Amino acid sequence: MAVVLTDPFDALFHFQQALDQLRQSDWLDASPSGQGAFPPLNVFRKGDDVVIITEVPGIRKSDLRIEAKGNTIRIAGTKSVANEGKASVHRVERRGGSFDRAINLPIQINADGIKAECRDGILALFVPRAEHDKPRAITIS
Amino acid sequence: MSNEPVEAQQKPLEVQQKKELLAKGEKTVPARYYVPSTDIFETDDALVLVMEVPGVDRKNVEVRLENDELRIEARIDFANYDGMEPLYTEYNVGHFARTFTLPQVIDQSNIGALLNDGVLTLTLKKVQKAQPRKIEIK
Protein backbone atom coordinates (compact mmCIF):
# COMPACT_ATOMS: atom_id res chain seq x y z
CA MET A 1 0.00 0.00 0.00
CA ALA A 2 1.67 3.17 -1.19
CA VAL A 3 1.47 6.29 0.87
CA VAL A 4 -1.07 8.63 -0.66
CA LEU A 5 -1.19 12.07 0.87
CA THR A 6 -4.66 13.32 0.27
CA ASP A 7 -5.96 14.63 3.56
CA PRO A 8 -3.17 16.64 5.18
CA PHE A 9 -4.60 16.16 8.66
CA ASP A 10 -4.76 12.39 8.52
CA ALA A 11 -1.88 11.76 6.17
CA LEU A 12 0.90 11.73 8.73
CA PHE A 13 -1.16 9.61 11.10
CA HIS A 14 -1.80 7.02 8.43
CA PHE A 15 1.81 7.10 7.38
CA GLN A 16 2.87 6.46 10.97
CA GLN A 17 0.45 3.54 11.16
CA ALA A 18 1.82 2.12 7.92
CA LEU A 19 5.34 2.31 9.32
CA ASP A 20 4.26 0.61 12.54
CA GLN A 21 2.69 -2.30 10.74
CA LEU A 22 6.00 -3.32 9.19
CA ARG A 23 8.02 -3.26 12.39
CA GLN A 24 8.22 -7.03 12.65
CA SER A 25 9.04 -7.68 9.01
CA ASP A 26 11.68 -10.36 8.39
CA TRP A 27 12.82 -8.64 5.22
CA LEU A 28 16.41 -8.17 6.33
CA ASP A 29 16.69 -11.32 8.43
CA ALA A 30 19.55 -12.80 6.45
CA SER A 31 21.76 -9.75 6.94
CA PRO A 32 24.96 -9.81 8.97
CA SER A 33 23.63 -6.97 11.10
CA GLY A 34 19.90 -7.35 10.67
CA GLN A 35 17.52 -5.82 13.09
CA GLY A 36 18.47 -3.54 15.93
CA ALA A 37 21.82 -2.19 14.82
CA PHE A 38 22.68 1.47 14.43
CA PRO A 39 21.63 3.33 12.38
CA PRO A 40 17.96 2.30 12.35
CA LEU A 41 16.75 1.91 8.79
CA ASN A 42 13.48 2.24 6.99
CA VAL A 43 13.24 0.63 3.58
CA PHE A 44 10.74 1.80 1.01
CA ARG A 45 9.81 0.75 -2.46
CA LYS A 46 9.49 3.50 -5.02
CA GLY A 47 8.48 2.21 -8.40
CA ASP A 48 10.93 -0.56 -9.26
CA ASP A 49 13.60 0.75 -6.96
CA VAL A 50 14.32 0.65 -3.26
CA VAL A 51 14.98 3.64 -1.01
CA ILE A 52 16.80 3.14 2.28
CA ILE A 53 16.33 5.99 4.74
CA THR A 54 18.05 6.47 8.05
CA GLU A 55 18.32 9.22 10.63
CA VAL A 56 21.87 10.40 11.21
CA PRO A 57 21.52 13.71 13.05
CA GLY A 58 24.80 15.42 13.77
CA ILE A 59 26.85 13.14 11.53
CA ARG A 60 28.80 14.97 8.87
CA LYS A 61 28.90 13.65 5.33
CA SER A 62 32.65 13.22 5.69
CA ASP A 63 32.11 10.92 8.67
CA LEU A 64 29.90 8.53 6.72
CA ARG A 65 31.21 5.68 4.64
CA ILE A 66 28.88 3.82 2.32
CA GLU A 67 29.92 0.75 0.37
CA ALA A 68 28.04 -1.62 -1.85
CA LYS A 69 28.99 -5.01 -3.14
CA GLY A 70 26.64 -7.52 -4.65
CA ASN A 71 23.41 -7.15 -2.73
CA THR A 72 25.11 -5.94 0.41
CA ILE A 73 25.16 -2.32 1.45
CA ARG A 74 27.37 -1.21 4.26
CA ILE A 75 26.84 1.99 6.21
CA ALA A 76 29.63 2.87 8.61
CA GLY A 77 30.82 5.99 10.35
CA THR A 78 31.34 7.92 13.51
CA LYS A 79 29.05 10.25 15.34
CA SER A 80 30.71 12.79 17.54
CA VAL A 81 28.80 14.68 20.17
CA ALA A 82 31.18 17.56 20.69
CA ASN A 83 30.46 19.74 23.66
CA GLU A 84 33.71 21.40 24.49
CA GLY A 85 33.99 24.49 26.62
CA LYS A 86 31.05 23.72 28.81
CA ALA A 87 31.03 24.75 32.42
CA SER A 88 28.42 22.32 33.69
CA VAL A 89 26.14 19.72 32.23
CA HIS A 90 22.41 19.77 32.84
CA ARG A 91 21.20 17.00 30.61
CA VAL A 92 22.88 14.42 28.39
CA GLU A 93 20.66 12.46 26.05
CA ARG A 94 22.60 12.42 22.79
CA ARG A 95 25.11 9.68 22.25
CA GLY A 96 28.18 9.48 20.11
CA GLY A 97 30.19 6.55 18.90
CA SER A 98 31.07 4.52 15.89
CA PHE A 99 28.82 2.29 13.85
CA ASP A 100 29.12 -0.22 11.08
CA ARG A 101 26.12 -1.92 9.63
CA ALA A 102 25.77 -4.16 6.62
CA ILE A 103 22.49 -5.29 5.15
CA ASN A 104 21.69 -7.79 2.45
CA LEU A 105 18.83 -6.76 0.28
CA PRO A 106 16.61 -9.62 -0.86
CA ILE A 107 16.61 -8.27 -4.41
CA GLN A 108 19.28 -7.95 -7.07
CA ILE A 109 20.57 -4.40 -7.14
CA ASN A 110 22.60 -2.29 -9.49
CA ALA A 111 25.40 -1.34 -7.12
CA ASP A 112 26.90 1.18 -9.55
CA GLY A 113 23.64 3.09 -9.73
CA ILE A 114 23.22 3.77 -6.00
CA LYS A 115 22.78 7.43 -5.17
CA ALA A 116 23.24 8.74 -1.65
CA GLU A 117 21.83 11.99 -0.31
CA CYS A 118 22.42 13.41 3.12
CA ARG A 119 20.42 16.43 4.18
CA ASP A 120 19.18 17.74 7.52
CA GLY A 121 20.39 14.65 9.33
CA ILE A 122 18.64 12.18 7.01
CA LEU A 123 20.61 9.82 4.83
CA ALA A 124 18.75 8.45 1.84
CA LEU A 125 20.16 5.75 -0.42
CA PHE A 126 18.42 5.35 -3.73
CA VAL A 127 19.08 1.78 -4.78
CA PRO A 128 18.09 0.84 -8.32
CA ARG A 129 16.92 -2.68 -8.89
CA ALA A 130 19.09 -4.59 -11.34
CA GLU A 131 17.65 -4.56 -14.81
CA HIS A 132 17.69 -8.34 -15.06
CA ASP A 133 15.84 -8.63 -11.73
CA LYS A 134 12.86 -6.56 -12.80
CA PRO A 135 9.70 -8.53 -13.39
CA ARG A 136 8.76 -9.15 -17.00
CA ALA A 137 5.21 -8.93 -18.16
CA ILE A 138 4.14 -12.21 -19.70
CA THR A 139 1.83 -12.00 -22.63
CA ILE A 140 -0.79 -14.71 -22.72
CA SER A 141 -0.89 -16.13 -26.19
CA MET B 1 40.80 -7.33 22.06
CA SER B 2 43.10 -5.11 24.09
CA ASN B 3 42.22 -3.89 27.53
CA GLU B 4 43.16 -0.31 26.83
CA PRO B 5 40.39 2.19 27.50
CA VAL B 6 38.45 2.87 24.35
CA GLU B 7 38.06 6.44 23.23
CA ALA B 8 34.54 7.59 24.02
CA GLN B 9 33.90 8.35 20.37
CA GLN B 10 34.96 4.89 19.27
CA LYS B 11 32.41 2.99 21.30
CA PRO B 12 29.86 1.13 19.20
CA LEU B 13 26.74 3.19 18.88
CA GLU B 14 23.47 1.65 19.97
CA VAL B 15 20.04 2.52 18.70
CA GLN B 16 18.15 4.90 20.91
CA GLN B 17 14.45 4.26 20.67
CA LYS B 18 12.55 7.40 19.81
CA LYS B 19 10.50 8.68 22.69
CA GLU B 20 6.94 9.59 21.91
CA LEU B 21 5.60 12.86 23.23
CA LEU B 22 2.79 11.91 25.56
CA ALA B 23 1.53 15.22 26.85
CA LYS B 24 0.31 16.55 23.56
CA GLY B 25 -1.18 19.72 24.95
CA GLU B 26 -3.37 21.46 22.47
CA LYS B 27 -2.88 19.06 19.55
CA THR B 28 -6.08 18.19 17.76
CA VAL B 29 -4.65 15.86 15.12
CA PRO B 30 -3.93 12.23 15.93
CA ALA B 31 -0.40 12.16 14.50
CA ARG B 32 2.37 11.31 16.93
CA TYR B 33 5.01 13.74 18.08
CA TYR B 34 8.44 12.74 19.27
CA VAL B 35 10.68 14.14 21.97
CA PRO B 36 14.02 15.17 20.50
CA SER B 37 17.12 13.90 22.33
CA THR B 38 18.63 16.95 23.95
CA ASP B 39 21.90 17.87 25.58
CA ILE B 40 21.85 20.91 27.81
CA PHE B 41 24.98 22.47 29.14
CA GLU B 42 25.95 25.71 30.69
CA THR B 43 28.88 27.89 29.82
CA ASP B 44 30.00 30.99 31.67
CA ASP B 45 27.67 33.29 29.80
CA ALA B 46 25.01 31.06 28.29
CA LEU B 47 22.83 28.00 28.51
CA VAL B 48 23.12 25.82 25.40
CA LEU B 49 20.49 23.36 24.21
CA VAL B 50 21.50 20.87 21.52
CA MET B 51 18.66 18.79 20.13
CA GLU B 52 18.42 16.19 17.40
CA VAL B 53 15.68 16.87 14.90
CA PRO B 54 16.53 14.79 11.83
CA GLY B 55 14.57 15.59 8.69
CA VAL B 56 13.61 19.08 9.74
CA ASP B 57 14.24 22.03 7.46
CA ARG B 58 15.23 25.39 8.90
CA LYS B 59 11.93 27.00 7.93
CA ASN B 60 9.93 24.38 9.84
CA VAL B 61 11.44 25.07 13.24
CA GLU B 62 9.41 27.16 15.62
CA VAL B 63 10.93 28.37 18.85
CA ARG B 64 8.49 30.21 21.07
CA LEU B 65 9.12 31.84 24.37
CA GLU B 66 6.22 32.65 26.63
CA ASN B 67 6.84 33.73 30.19
CA ASP B 68 9.53 31.27 31.24
CA GLU B 69 8.50 28.46 28.91
CA LEU B 70 10.62 27.73 25.90
CA ARG B 71 8.69 25.66 23.41
CA ILE B 72 10.42 24.09 20.45
CA GLU B 73 8.43 22.57 17.66
CA ALA B 74 10.22 21.10 14.65
CA ARG B 75 8.17 19.71 11.82
CA ILE B 76 9.35 17.20 9.28
CA ASP B 77 8.33 17.44 5.66
CA PHE B 78 6.80 14.04 5.14
CA ALA B 79 5.78 14.92 1.59
CA ASN B 80 9.25 13.53 0.81
CA TYR B 81 7.75 10.11 1.44
CA ASP B 82 5.03 10.60 -1.15
CA GLY B 83 4.67 7.59 -3.43
CA MET B 84 6.87 5.38 -1.26
CA GLU B 85 5.65 2.07 -0.01
CA PRO B 86 7.22 0.86 3.24
CA LEU B 87 8.81 -2.58 2.97
CA TYR B 88 10.68 -2.79 6.22
CA THR B 89 10.75 -0.31 9.10
CA GLU B 90 12.74 0.11 12.28
CA TYR B 91 11.69 3.56 13.39
CA ASN B 92 8.76 5.86 12.98
CA VAL B 93 8.77 9.42 11.82
CA GLY B 94 6.91 12.41 13.14
CA HIS B 95 7.21 16.01 14.16
CA PHE B 96 9.25 16.90 17.21
CA ALA B 97 8.14 19.00 20.16
CA ARG B 98 9.57 19.77 23.56
CA THR B 99 9.04 22.40 26.21
CA PHE B 100 11.50 23.58 28.82
CA THR B 101 10.96 25.89 31.75
CA LEU B 102 13.82 28.33 31.73
CA PRO B 103 15.59 29.56 34.81
CA GLN B 104 15.25 33.25 35.60
CA VAL B 105 18.83 33.93 34.63
CA ILE B 106 18.13 33.83 30.90
CA ASP B 107 18.06 37.01 28.85
CA GLN B 108 14.86 36.28 26.99
CA SER B 109 15.57 38.78 24.24
CA ASN B 110 18.89 37.22 23.36
CA ILE B 111 18.38 33.69 22.07
CA GLY B 112 20.28 32.33 19.11
CA ALA B 113 19.28 29.32 17.02
CA LEU B 114 21.32 27.29 14.56
CA LEU B 115 20.28 24.22 12.57
CA ASN B 116 22.95 22.04 11.08
CA ASP B 117 22.76 18.41 9.85
CA GLY B 118 19.54 17.84 11.77
CA VAL B 119 20.90 19.22 15.01
CA LEU B 120 19.31 22.34 16.46
CA THR B 121 21.48 24.42 18.78
CA LEU B 122 19.86 27.10 20.90
CA THR B 123 22.11 29.50 22.75
CA LEU B 124 20.37 31.24 25.61
CA LYS B 125 22.44 34.11 26.95
CA LYS B 126 22.40 34.75 30.66
CA VAL B 127 21.43 38.17 31.97
CA GLN B 128 24.16 40.30 33.44
CA LYS B 129 22.64 40.33 36.88
CA ALA B 130 22.91 36.55 37.03
CA GLN B 131 26.65 36.85 37.27
CA PRO B 132 27.80 35.79 40.72
CA ARG B 133 28.09 38.66 43.16
CA LYS B 134 28.73 39.01 46.81
CA ILE B 135 25.99 40.11 49.16
CA GLU B 136 26.92 42.09 52.17
CA ILE B 137 25.17 41.39 55.46
CA LYS B 138 24.41 44.45 57.47
Mean pLDDT (chain A, rounded): 84
**B39, B83, B95 member nearest A81 (Cβ):** B39
Instruction: Determine, for residues B84 and A22 on separate chains, whether the beta-carbon distance falls below 8 Å.
Output: no
pLDDT grade for A8, boundaries at 50, 70 and 90: low
pLDDT grade for A78, boundaries at 50, 70 and 90: very high
The pLDDT tens digits for A39-52 are 998 999 998 899 99
Question: How many folded domains does chain A comprise?
Answer: 1
Q: Which domain covers residue A120, as residue numbers?
A: 39-80+96-134
Buried/exposed A124-139: b ≥16 CB within 10 Å, e otherwise: bbebbbeeeeeeeeee
Q: Has residue A24 been placed in a domain?
A: no
Residues of chain B with Cβ-Cβ distance to A65 below 8 Å are none
pLDDT grade for B2, boundaries at 50, 70 and 90: very low
Residue B119, strand partner residues: B52, B116
Residues of chain A with Cβ-Cβ distance to B20 below 8 Å are none
Which CATH number do you get for residue A74?
A: 2.60.40.790
The pLDDT tens digits for B68-117 are 889 999 999 888 888 888 888 888 999 999 999 988 778 888 889 999 99
Name the percent of chain B lying above pLDDT 70: 83
**B8, B30, B117 member nearest A59 (Cβ):** B117
The pLDDT tens digits for A98-136 are 999 988 888 889 989 999 999 999 999 999 998 888 888
Residue B10 has pLDDT above 80, yes or no: no
Q: What is the DSSP string of A39-74?
A: SPEEEEEETTEEEEEEE-TT--GGGEEEEEETTEEE
Mean pLDDT (chain B, rounded): 83
Instruction: Determine, for residues A57 and B52 on separate chains, whether the beta-carbon distance falls below 8 Å.
Output: yes
Q: Has residue A130 been placed in a domain?
A: yes
**Per-residue confidence (pLDDT) for residue B4, from 0 to 100:** 45
**Per-residue confidence (pLDDT) for residue B129, from 0 to 100:** 67
**Per-residue confidence (pLDDT) for residue B74, from 0 to 100:** 93
Residue B121 has pLDDT above 90, yes or no: yes
Rounded-to-integer distance, Cα B63 and Cα B51, Å: 12
Residue A2 has pLDDT above 60, yes or no: no
Instruction: Determine, for residues A38 and B50 on separate chains, whether the beta-carbon distance falls below 8 Å.
Output: no
Q: Could you confirm whether domain B30-81+89-128 is CATH 2.40.10.120? A: no
Residues of chain A with Cβ-Cβ distance to B11 below 8 Å are 97-98
Q: Has residue A30 been placed in a domain?
A: no
